[in-house]
Amino acid sequence: MGGADPVVDGCELKIDQLLPVVTTVQHVHQFKIIALALYRIVTLGCVQAEQPMKLTLALAVAVTIATAVLAAPSLGAVTERAVADVRLTTPVNLDVAAKQAEAAAAVVRTARLGGLTSNYTWSGCINIPAIGPVCVVLTANPSPLSLEIDITVDGEVVLSETVSGNQVCVNTNDLLDVLEAVCAVCIPVIDAIKAALKYIPASVLSLCVDFENLDFTSSSVSGDVYLDATILCWESHCVYKGNNFLGHFNLPI
């Protein structure tokens, strides 16, 4: 191994200790520790006034290492390293994410429908590591009676349409576009999959909302909402895979 693993508890780690390690790193395990160390240095305010140049150098070297790691020739190595090892997550406030999703959805939905008179909206979110919050926004349309759905990924609307059944799925190309924009570690996996397959099946990439107990009455629309996400499952590794119950909604009309 090219160097000892640095200590990353609190501010005990010093940039002077980090630099020799990042210049001799040979394993993804070390890069993960280095990335965590850099994150803690910045978020805990450990950088002293005389050290910004050293921090800039450390960050630049870390980015270079990440690029080399993700360019590994073995597809198995790409997925294992990019998806499993090189991942930093930060806490996400899902209440804030839901409000942001509602605001973004309102803009797209208004443009699509030419305005919507209902003020009743329901939203639910989950956080997917390395991607960000994925949210579902539902709005009841009284005239004509319908249920409108918007799906956002990291604040970007990837689907906006009228619910016409018990399942709604995001177009694969639209999902790929947003993943390439918000998920850096996804890019080498996407490139490898595109090189190997003529098209990307749902078993590799899909994002769907499933409805159960969906009920339309003269005064309300109600049901249970599930978010089924398969994000880049390839060679026994997934960026994310899960079926999440987002909650029950009951929207007045």
Q: Which residues make Cβ contacts (< 8 Å) with residue 190, sequence separation at least 6?
A: 176, 179, 180, 232
Give the relative orientation of helices 28-43 and 15-22 as an angle to the nearest 10 degrees. 150
Query: What was the pLDDT predicted at 92?
Result: 79
> pLDDT band for position 183 (50/70/90)?
confident
Residue 130 to residue 238: CA distance in whole angstroms: 12
Query: What was the pLDDT predicted at 130?
Result: 83
pLDDT at residue 43 above 90?
no
Q: Is the pTM of this model over 0.75?
A: no
Q: Where are the domains of the chain?
A: 15-70, 94-252
Tens of pLDDT, residue by residue over 45-96, are 454 444 555 555 555 555 544 554 444 444 444 433 433 334 344 577 899 9
Query: What was the pLDDT predicted at 63?
Result: 52
| Averaged confidence pLDDT in the chain | 76
In Å, how far from its chain's centre is CA 128?
5
Structure tokens at 57: 């150098």
Query: What was the pLDDT predicted at 33?
Result: 52
Average the pLDDT over each of 56-65, 115-124, 233-242 and give the range with the smallest value. 56-65
Q: How far is CA 83 from CA 64, 79, 170, 192, 228, in A?
A: 18, 5, 22, 13, 19
Query: What was the pLDDT predicted at 22?
Result: 46
| Helical spans, DSSP H, in the chain | 15-22, 28-43, 52-70, 75-79, 94-113, 172-182, 187-196
Long-range contact list for 103-111, CB < 8 A, 24+ apart?
104/150, 104/152, 104/155, 104/156, 104/157, 105/137, 105/139, 105/150, 105/152, 105/157, 105/160, 107/157, 108/150, 108/157, 108/160, 109/139, 109/148, 109/150, 109/160
Looking up tokens 């960026």, which residue turns up? 239
Tens of pLDDT, residue by residue over 8-25, are 444 444 444 544 544 444
* Higher pLDDT among residues 81 and 147, named by residue: 147
Structure tokens at 111: 């443009």
Phi, psi at residue 141, to the nearest 5°?
-105, 115
